């Protein structure tokens, strides 16, 4: 079998634009996932059973329903239910962000609950308010133990972003599909995209290890 990677040259700009969209979707989704995930995690450890039950139900939705089903519901069902046509970009970002927030919340909650109870007792003994205790004492210690898991979540969101191609958003995966249709070659464009994803993931992994060495040792 002869490889014909030179056929991809006229479509390099398409791949570059797809890479930019992939990065934009990933960054926006991560912003939602991290911010919302941290908020949910803190609320989950508040001693309020109804609130905890509600947040656990929220988490269970994203654990129990495939991501692609949620993405299709966000993009195709939203106009039917609300009369508002959501953009492909917004549907992808919101779905990936909310899905990621469920994972982040469980990760951070586990880190918070793993902090030694003596830290809580000491904070209460000196009269620190609950919010101040969480912000200055508990969360900084919890972060040290969850950094590796959060780095993995960043990688997961990046790879999951390829699903936005299924609703037509021109990310890297969609660019590869378009090049396949134009050149009648499948191996070369998909291999090119696979290599780009691999290099990005390796870079994120290296950055994650650097962060771990700095903050977790």
Q: Specify if 5 maps to a domain.
A: no
Question: So what's the pLDDT on residue 165?
Answer: 96
In a domain, 144, yes or no: yes
Mean pLDDT of 188-199: 96
Within a domain: 203: yes
Identify the CATH number of the domain in which residue 79 sits.
1.10.3720.10
51-75 burial code (b ≥16 CB/10 A, e <16) = eeeebeebbeebeeeeeeebbbebb
Whether 39 maps to a domain, the answer reads: yes
Kindly report, residue by residue over 122-177, the tens digit of the pLDDT.
777 887 787 778 777 887 888 888 888 999 999 999 999 999 999 999 999 999 99
Q: Kindly tell me if the per-residue pLDDT of 211 is higher than 60.
A: yes
Is it the case that residue 94 has pLDDT exceeding 80? yes
pTM for this entry: 0.90
Cβ-proximal residues to 186 (8 Å cutoff; 6+ apart), any chain = 180
Q: Which position has the token pair 């905890």?
A: 52
Q: What is the mean pLDDT of residues 33-58?
A: 92
Does residue 4 fall inside a structural domain? no
pLDDT at 214: 77
Confidence (pLDDT) at 46: 84
Distance separating alpha carbons of residues 199 and 210, to the nearest angstrom? 17
Q: Work out how many domains the chain is built from and give that number.
A: 1
Question: Which residues lie below 8 Å from residue 102, measured CB to CB, with a gap of 6+?
Answer: 37, 40, 58, 59, 61, 62, 63
Q: How many helices (H) and strands (E) does the chain have?
A: 10, 0
Question: In the structure encoding, which two tokens stand for residue 48, read together?
Answer: 């309020």
In a domain, 173, yes or no: yes
pLDDT range class, residue 1, cuts 50, 70, 90: low
R_g of the chain computed on alpha carbons: 21
Has residue 33 got a pLDDT over 60?
Answer: yes
Smallest CA-to-CA distance from 173 within 196, 153, 156 is with 196
Closest CA to 40 of 54, 21, 26: 54
Q: Which residue has the tokens 């239910």?
A: 81
Query: Within 13 Å and on the Cβ side, how many CA atoms surround 26?
Result: 22
Range of the domain at 173: 10-215
Whether 30 is in a domain gets the answer: yes
- Asked if residue 3 belongs to a domain, the reply is no
Contact assessment for residue 141 and residue 119, using Cβ atoms and an 8 Å cutoff:
yes
Give the residue among 71, 73, 37 at the shortest CA–CA distance from 160. 71
On the question of pLDDT at 30 being above 70, the answer is yes
> By the 8 A CB rule, do 71 and 167 touch?
yes
């Amino acid at each position: 079998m002869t490889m014909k990677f030179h056929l991809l040259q006229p479509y390099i700009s398409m791949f570059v634009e797809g890479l930019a969209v992939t990065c934009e979707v990933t960054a926006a989704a991560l912003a939602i996932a991290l911010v919302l995930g941290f908020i949910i995690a803190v609320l989950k450890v508040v001693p309020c059973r109804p609130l905890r039950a509600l947040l656990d139900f929220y988490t269970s939705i994203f654990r129990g329903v495939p991501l692609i089903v949620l993405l299709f519901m966000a993009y195709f069902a939203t106009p039917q239910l609300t009369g508002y046509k959501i953009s492909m970009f917004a549907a992808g970002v919101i779905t990936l962000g909310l899905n990621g927030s469920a994972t982040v919340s469980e990760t951070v909650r586990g880190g918070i609950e793993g902090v030694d109870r003596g830290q809580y007792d000491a904070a209460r003994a000196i009269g620190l308010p609950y919010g101040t205790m969480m912000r200055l004492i508990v969360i900084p210690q919890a972060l040290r133990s969850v950094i590796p898991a959060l780095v993995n979540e960043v990688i997961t969101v990046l790879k999951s972003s390829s699903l936005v191609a299924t609703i037509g958003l021109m990310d890297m995966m969609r660019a590869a599909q378009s090049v396949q249709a134009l050149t009648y070659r499948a191996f070369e464009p998909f291999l090119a995209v696979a290599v780009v994803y691999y290099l990005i993931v390796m870079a994120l992994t290296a950055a994650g290890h650097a962060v771990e060495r700095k903050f977790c040792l």
